[in-house]
Chain A
Amino acid sequence: MGNPMKIRAAVKEGVTEVKVLMQHNMETGLRKGADGNLIPAWFITEVKAQYQGRTVLEAQFGQSVSKNPYLLFRFKGGAAGEKVSISWVDNTGDSRTDEVAITA
C-alpha cells in the first residue's frame, strides 16, 4: 500500500478546486542505481478522482511524470463538508486512496 497523499479541496463560487500531492517515486526504469544496474520501472499509471461517488477526473500517468506528482484540477459543484476522494494505481499493482472533505 502506497504512502498517504496530501489533498486540499476548496469550493468557491460553485467551483471546487482540488490540489493533490501524491507520494510516489515515479521511477522511469531507465535510470541506473549506484550499483550500475537499472532501477526497475515504478510509476503511477492511473489516477481517478471521485466526488460523491461520481468520477470527476480520470487520468493516465506515465514515466514522464515527476517524482511526488502534484495535480490541480477544478470541477463544477461541490459544497463544504462533502467528500472528494483520489485514488491511484501503479504499474506494480499497488494502489492508494485518500479522501478529504471540501472546505468553503
Chain B
Amino acid sequence: MNISNVSKVFLVLSLSTSYAAMAAEGDVSDSDRIAQYREMIADGNPAEFDEMAGEELWKTPAGPKKATLEKCNLGKGPGVVKGAYAALPRYFKDTRKVQDLESRLLTCMTTLQGIPEEQITAKPFSSDQKKSDISSLATYVVGQSKGIKMAVSLKHPKEKEAYEIGQRIFYYRAGPYDFACSTCHATSDVRIRMQDLPNFNVQKDAQAAYTSWPAYRVSQGLTRSFQWRLNDCFRQQRFPEPKFASEATIALTMFLAVNANGAEYAGPGLKR
C-alpha cells in the first residue's frame, strides 16, 4: 500500500463520518429544535411581565369613574378571574352578546371605568413604543386559567350561532389571494417559513394551537393577544383588517375555542 492509497482510505473514512454526522443532524427537525428552545426558556417566559402589568392594571382605579376592574364579570361572577378564560367566549346576559375575553374587557372598561371605547380600540395592540393596556389585562386573565381544562359552552343558541359563523369564516375563501384560514390550517405537515402550521381538523393540533395563545413573540419582543393573532392572520390573507373585538373575530374565536375543548389551557405561551 503506497502513501496515496493510505490518504484515500482516510478521505473515505472522514467522508463517511461527516455523512453520519449530517444524518444525525437531519433527524432533529426545526420544529424539534424550536420545542427544545421553548423547553429551555419555559421558566423564563417574558409574558409573565405582562401578566404582572395586567394584574396591576386590573387592581388600579382608572378612567373617569376611578374604578378598578375587580367587579368585572368575565362569566364566573363579578371579579372572578380564575378559570374564566377556559370558558370563553360565552353568551353574556347583560350585553346580550357572545363575547370573547377582549370584547368583555372592553365592556368592563367602558361600563365600570367609563373609558370611551374609541380610546381603547384606537390602538388595541402593543407596539415597541407603547404597551397596550387591554392586551396586558388579557395576558393576566389568561394566566389565571393555566392548567384548567377548556370548557367552552355551546348551550345558548347565540353561542351555537357564533360557532357556526366562525366555522363559515374559517372556510371562507376570498380576497386577492383567494385565501381562507383553511388554506393553511386544514392540512397536516405544512409550514410557513420554519413554523409548522396547526391543522385545525386534527383535534390535538387544534388544542395545542389554541391553548398556547396569547403568547410572547420572541421575534417581536412583545406579548400578543388572541385578537392580534386573528388580526394578523387576516392581514396575511390580504383580507380587510377586522375591527377590534368585532363579531366576526369573536365568532372565529368561538369556533377555535370549542375545537380546543377538553385540553388544559397552557398559556400564556412562547412563540419564536
Contact = CB atoms under 8 A, between A and B. Distances in A.
B48 A67 contact: no
Question: For B43, B44, B49, which residue has the most chain A Cβ atoms within 10 angstroms?
Answer: B44
Interface residues of A, number: 15
B221 A6 contact: no
B49 A23 contact: yes
A70 B41 contact: yes
B89 interface: no
B198 interface: no
Contact of B44 (A3, A4, A21, A34): A21
A66 B272 CA distance: 13
Looking at chain B's contact residues, is the secondary structure mostly helix, strand, loop, or mixed? loop
Contacts, number: 30
Interface in A22-57: 23, 33-34
A83 interface: no
Contact of A6 (B41, B49, B128): B49
A21 B41 CA distance: 10
A70 B44 contact: yes
Interface of B: 41, 43-46, 48-49, 52, 128-129, 218, 221
A21 B52 contact: no
Contact of B52 (A4, A19, A33, A70): A4
A68 B221 contact: yes
Nearest to B222: A67
B44 A19 contact: yes
> Which of B41, B43, B48, B218 has the most chain A CB atoms closer than 10 A to its own CB?
B43
Nearest to B44: A70
Given A4-B52, A68-B221, A23 B43 contact: no
A20 B44 CA distance: 7
Nearest to B53: A3
A54 B55 CA distance: 34
A3 to B, nearest CB: 7
Contacts of B52: 4
Q: Which of A6, A20, A33, A66 has the most CB of B within 10 A?
A: A6
A29 to B, nearest CB: 15
